Structure 1
Amino acid sequence: GGKSPAIVSANVPLADAAERIAFGKTLNAGQTCVAPDYVLVPRARIEGFIEAYRQVIRRFYPQLSDNPDYTSIINPRQQARLQDYLDDAQARGARLLPLFEQSQDRRMPHHLLLDVTDEMRVMQDEIFGPLLPIVPYDDLEQALAYVNARPRPLALYYFGYDKAEQQTVLERTHSGGVCLNDTLLHVAQDDLPFGGVGPSGMGHYHGHEGFLTFSKAKGVFIKQRFNASRLIYPPYGKALQKLVYRLFIR
């Protein structure tokens, strides 16, 4: 499926956006299908966002080693895959900002990635790990065009309190679900449909939508004793032929 984006608006408090994106990205070390896969930040606010994000991560996880709150990568194979993403991105010109020292176990340090390009594997695959690329944008139109030029994601996150901008994002993007001013929480609503669209999956579950998805509607027709169907049985004259065409062929 597509990579779930987070869009930081031009006016939202960076501390709020950074805290909520960090929670969504570090829960289970980013190994969830709805973790933010990259964040779009106004070009002029990138340094401020990085600093706010760094402070949040340090508050969430004062240290990495032996921290039971910081989830390990599930196995060595997946850890190697994530390290390959970092190596590939760095070789292609990305700047890596590790937020912790290297760990000796599978608690992989959280990284921010800058100057990323579409040729990098980290920008092609769903990450499922503690790597967060930051993509600059100049205006909302450019941010929406960036999102819409890529496969449709399972989740989309927008941070901003302007109602008109919120509506623009909702109307002009496609995603399985949207969370405004937070991450992940749309999945936790029992009665809110959850599912993908296009490459990120089809169908929904949770609540009534889940009942419909996992049910099979079986059509049943019952004929009574009187058989009006005889009126359209052959042989056909021209008038009857026209009637049959109207009923069944149209």
Structure 2
Amino acid sequence: MSHNLDLEPNTSSTNDMDQIFNRQQDHYRNNVNPTLEQRRNDLSVLKKLLMRYQEQLIEAVSEDYGHRAKHDSLIADITPSLHQINYSDKNLKKWLKPSRRKAGLMLTPAKITVHYQPVGVVGIIVPWNFPVMLSLGPLITALAAGNTAMLKMSEFTPATNRVLKAMLAEGFSEEQVAIIEGEADVSAKFSQLPFDHILFTGSTSVGKHVMKAAAANLTPVTLELGGKSPTIIAPDFDVADAVERILFAKSLNAGQICVAPDYILLPREKVDAFITAYKRYFKKLYKAGIESKDLTSVVNMRQYNRLKGVVEDAKSKGAVIHTVTEQAQDDVNHRMTPHLLTKVNDDMLAMQEELFGPVLPIVPYDSIEEAISYITTRERPLALYLMSHDKKTQDRFLSDTHSGGVCINDSLVHVAAEDAPFGGIGPSGMGHYHGIEGFKTFSHAKTVLTRGKINFTKLMHPPYNNPIKKMMFKVLNR
């Protein structure tokens, strides 16, 4: 989701993680199952803090980026965090209520219930691209489920980390919620702690290291990764309309989003129309071009140079580069407007790695079958976007392709569905943390069987040649 920046060294403070972890374990053991009121109070405290600190957080993220459009921070960091608090508070009583299950003929009469208990101490590893939402989102769910949490922040968002640390310290002791900072060695050590659950958001390559470290402690993991999310424009869909539904998703946060459209599949004869429409609509939304205050910078020079390298690699291998503005790159402020790539092939970096920025390859197809085959012969992505009003085409893509999630006739916005799970499949991740699925991720589902005063299990005891028992087993084995 955020490339290998997770491992890039930086000068950040470190914490004695072992001591903090031990104190969080003690805190949890002293209150292994917080009441509904305690959990709601935690959510209320967090909401008040977030509302009070939101302007500082927006300014801090912009400082970390060089420039981050305020709207991008509001729509993708602050607002979804507040909505998730409200959603969790509204549903928490229902989630905590033990669910009844059927005992089945063999166990009748018996009462079967499933109780959801906190798992304990949760480790949350946060990327740089949305440092507020991708720290507070998992934290909200972890607190709702009754856990304590340690958050390993990215070393590439030091200003945001400082504000978050000050904010959380106002409402929570370090025994309940702790912010951890540090470089690659700290990240590695963090993953090795015997957490009761780890949630990692980042690149697939780093996710593998996290999973390997967690395996030593048999710690379950949720991996929110990324991949190359395709956008398919079907033959029946108007190209200009498709551009309006794609461009914002690719431009928000300068395309530095795990579920941003990564490449376009469209009918061969519509390629030129797509490029023309994309240029026109971008200029309409961002009139000042690369100087637009609504356009977020690439996070730092390392990522900026990586993206320039991807474009140059494609060009050197035969791709045609279509820029949408007269000035497409700002080497001083690491800013970049969209680069559309045509005549791409699999030898290019642009078609091998998640782009995570304003670079968009265009892959023409001659049939729906060809488009589906192109997707299914590659790694399963975190998202798939289909532009089509044809029900048969929609059903075909839903049944014949695999992806973490799907948007039909829109892009990106499915991640904001509060009541639905969000997560990847295969190389794009495992597990979920939105909706009730997120609550269950940070909970242990404990099955409880309750009998009455009569011990019916005695009917199963030896000797087995009793006629009544023979009849009983005959009934059970039907």
The answer on 1:166 being equivalent to 2:394 is yes
Equivalent pair of 1:40/1:137 in contact (CA under 8 Å):
yes
Equivalent pair of 1:2/1:150 in contact (CA under 8 Å):
no
Report the Cα distance in structure 2 between the residues aligned to 1:184 and 1:65, rounded to whole angstroms.
Answer: 23
Q: 1:135 aligns with which of 363, 378, 389?
A: 363
Cα deviation, residue 161, structure 1: 0.3
Q: 1:42 aligns with which of 252, 264, 267?
A: 267
Report the Cα distance in structure 1 between the residues aligned to 2:374 and 2:458, rounded to whole angstroms.
Answer: 61
Q: CA RMSD for the aligned pairs?
A: 2.4
Identical amino acids, percent of aligned pairs: 52
Report the Cα distance in structure 1 between the residues aligned to 2:323 and 2:403, rounded to whole angstroms.
Answer: 30
Cα deviation, residue 224, structure 1: 7.8
* Alignment partner, residue 68 of structure 1: 293
* Alignment partner, residue 10 of structure 1: 235
Q: 1:208 aligns with which of 426, 436, 445?
A: 436
Cα deviation, residue 66, structure 1: 2.9
Amino acid at match of 2:400: R
TM-score, length-scaled by structure 1: 0.88
Q: Which runs of 5+ in 2 are unaligned?
A: 1-225, 466-478
Q: Residue deviations 1:177-236, cap 9 Å, x none?
A: 000001011111111211111111111222222222221113455688877878988999
Cα deviation, residue 157, structure 1: 0.1
Cα deviation, residue 170, structure 1: 0.5
Report the Cα distance in structure 2 between the residues aligned to 1:77 and 1:124, rounded to whole angstroms.
Answer: 19
Report the Cα distance in structure 2 between the residues aligned to 1:58 and 1:66, rounded to whole angstroms.
Answer: 12
Report the Cα distance in structure 1 between the residues aligned to 2:297 and 2:451, rounded to whole angstroms.
Answer: 63
Q: 1:154 aligns with which of 378, 382, 395?
A: 382
Equivalent pair of 2:338/2:359 in contact (CA under 8 Å):
yes
Q: 1:107 aligns with which of 317, 335, 338?
A: 335
Amino acid at match of 2:405: G
The answer on 1:117 being equivalent to 2:345 is yes
Amino acid at match of 1:197: I
Amino acid at match of 1:94: A
Report the Cα distance in structure 2 between the residues aligned to 1:185 and 1:66, rounded to whole angstroms.
Answer: 26
Q: Aligned to 1:216, what secondary structure does the other structure show?
A: strand
Report the Cα distance in structure 1 between the residues aligned to 2:272 and 2:255, rounded to whole angstroms.
Answer: 22
Cα deviation, residue 117, structure 1: 0.7
How many residue pairs get matched?
244
Amino acid at match of 2:404: G
Equivalent pair of 2:227/2:258 in contact (CA under 8 Å):
no
Q: Residue deviations 1:52-100, cap 9 Å, x none?
A: 1111111111123431101100010000110110111111111111112
What does 1:227-242 correspond to in 2, within 5 Å? Answer: none
Larger RCO (CA within 8 A; separation ≥ 6): 1
